[in-house]
Amino acid sequence: MKKFNHPARLGGSLLLALSCLEFAPMAHAGGEEFALCAKKYPDNNAERLKCYDNAQAAATVSDLPQPEDDEETALATGPALIAERSYLTRTWNLDDRTSHDESKLGRLVPHRQSYLLVRKTFNANNRPVSPATGNSTLVPEDIDALETKFQLSFKKDIGSQKDINFLNFKTLRVWAAYTQQSNWQMLNTRNSSPFRETNYEPELIATFGTGDASGLKLVNLGLVHQSNGKRFPESRSWNRGYLQGGWEWDNISVMARGWWRIPENTLKDDNPDIADYIGRADLVARWEPADKSQALTVLLRNNLRWAKTRSFAQIDWSTPIALGNAVRVHAQLTSGFGESLIDYNHRQNTFGLGFSFREW
């Protein structure tokens, strides 16, 4: 007579077979872990199933977007899995969402706006002047009122520290930044379409984050050099140290900055009165609705001399177009002193229209 297995032993074998069928399609997510579970608990079905559950849960979590993953990849994988980041949080990475793998080269990120405009001035500066000895153009230049203006601006974090607990600040991040603005006489073919002015502006910035969701979110300490790379009589340059605060409420952000010009040798100073024109402080206010259908930025600058005040204002408006999220139609209106370094003591009004590129 054929001998049958014990019912309990038969039930255990059947349960083991069903378990294997259940977890077989998921072997790609944790095959080695499942094999270890079977080896570790060959005769204990309950513990083996529990081990399988833990291995599958760990594999599922590892497939989700991690904090160091690229923001766009995480959003594409599952928008509901990460919270919406505010403008200042994205711009200065206040939530520390970058990879800390030192074997990888971190990417450059936007700093100020990058754009390409066709711009017209209503008071062209064809004879730049400066009180520095021999630093004035004697012969008027032949320039057009209409020219191409473009700006490239980016930064890279070069160090960070979390949980610093210093004066109520929670994080510290150090940035190296670079901005280049050029004015190109593209249609001035009679003079070989020269670049009238290019300003170079490298910066070193230390960002202290408060960790607050609104109100004061950051304080920046910065060192900045700005020059146009020209020789006499059109050379312009200066160095500054600055203190900047950043505030944010819903869709509005405000960055306010005051600076101190680092003194230079009087004989080598290209523009000794530059702070009286370009100013000693600026404020940038930005508004963008929740649907990101447009963005409005206002820059105000002043010399903080009430008896003889001089100022500058710039309004930038942009809206996305069908070419993708990285490109926007961009309009710019400026008025006052210092639209560029060569024009630091020249008052003018300008209007430009063109395209801007990814700005957080």
**Helix/strand/coil (H/E/C) assignment for every residue in the chain:** CCCCCCHHHHHHHHHHHHHHHHHHHHHHHHHHHHHHHHHHCCCCHHHHHHHHHHHHHHHHHHHCCCCCCCHHHHHHHCHHHCCCCCHHHHHHCCCCCCCCCCCCCCCCEECCCCEEEEEEECCCCCCCCCCCCCCCCCCCCCCCCEEEEEEEEEEEEEEEEEEEEECCEEEEEEEEEEEEEEEECCCCHHHCCCEEEEEEEEEEEEEEECCCCCEEEEEEEEEEEEECCCCCCCCCEEEEEEEEEEEEECCEEEEEEEEEECCCCHHHCCCCCHHHCCCCEEEEEEECCCCCCCEEEEEEEECCCCCCCCEEEEEEEEEEECCEEEEEEEEEEEEEECCCHHHCCCEEEEEEEEEEECCC
What is the per-residue pLDDT across 301-316, written as a single tens digit (0 to 9) for each? 999 999 999 999 999 9
Judge whether residue 11 has pLDDT over 90: no
Is pLDDT larger for residue 325 or for residue 187?
187
Q: Are 114 and 280 in contact (CB under 8 A)?
A: no
The distance from CA 120 to its chain's CA centroid, rounded to whole angstroms, is 28
Judge whether residue 13 has pLDDT over 60: no
What is the per-residue pLDDT across 235-255, written as a single tens digit (0 to 9) for each? 999 999 999 999 999 999 999
Judge whether residue 68 has pLDDT over 50: no
Whether 225 is catalytic is yes
Judge whether residue 273 has pLDDT over 70: yes
Q: So where are the chain's domains?
A: 7-63, 90-357
Judge whether residue 82 has pLDDT over 60: no
Active-site pick, 19, 99, 225, 335: 225
Residue among 66, 151, 117 nearest 340 (CA) = 151
Residue range 84-105: mean pLDDT, rounded: 77
Mean pLDDT lowest among 31-45, 167-181, 252-266, 283-297: 31-45
Judge whether residue 12 has pLDDT over 80: no
Phi, psi values for residue 19, rounded to 5°: -65, -40
Query: How much of the chain, in percent, has pLDDT values that exceed 90?
Result: 61
The pLDDT score that the predictor gives to residue 14 is 42
Contacts of 200 (CB under 8 A, 6+ apart): 178, 180, 225, 226, 227, 228, 229
Work out the pLDDT band at 233, boundaries 50, 70, 90: confident
Q: Regarding the domain delimited by 90-357, which CATH topology (the fold level of the hierarchy) does it fall under?
A: Outer membrane phospholipase (ompla); Chain C (2.40.230)
What pTM did the predictor assign? 0.76
What is the per-residue pLDDT across 192-230, written as a single tens digit (0 to 9) for each? 999 999 999 999 999 999 999 999 999 999 999 999 999
The distance from CA 326 to its chain's CA centroid, rounded to whole angstroms, is 13
Q: How many Å apart are CA 167 and CA 255, to the nearest integer?
A: 20
Residue range 281-294: mean pLDDT, rounded: 95
Whether 6 is catalytic is no
Q: How many Å apart are CA 178 and CA 191, to the nearest integer?
A: 30
Instruction: Give the Cβ contact number of residue 85 at 10 Å.
Output: 15
Q: Can you read off the two tokens belonging to residue 50?
A: 């529990």
Is pLDDT larger for residue 349 or for residue 39?
349
Tallying the residues shown for the chain, one arrives at 360
Active-site pick, 227, 311, 335, 356: 227
The answer for 167, left when phi > 0, alpha when psi is -120 to 50, beta otherwise, is left
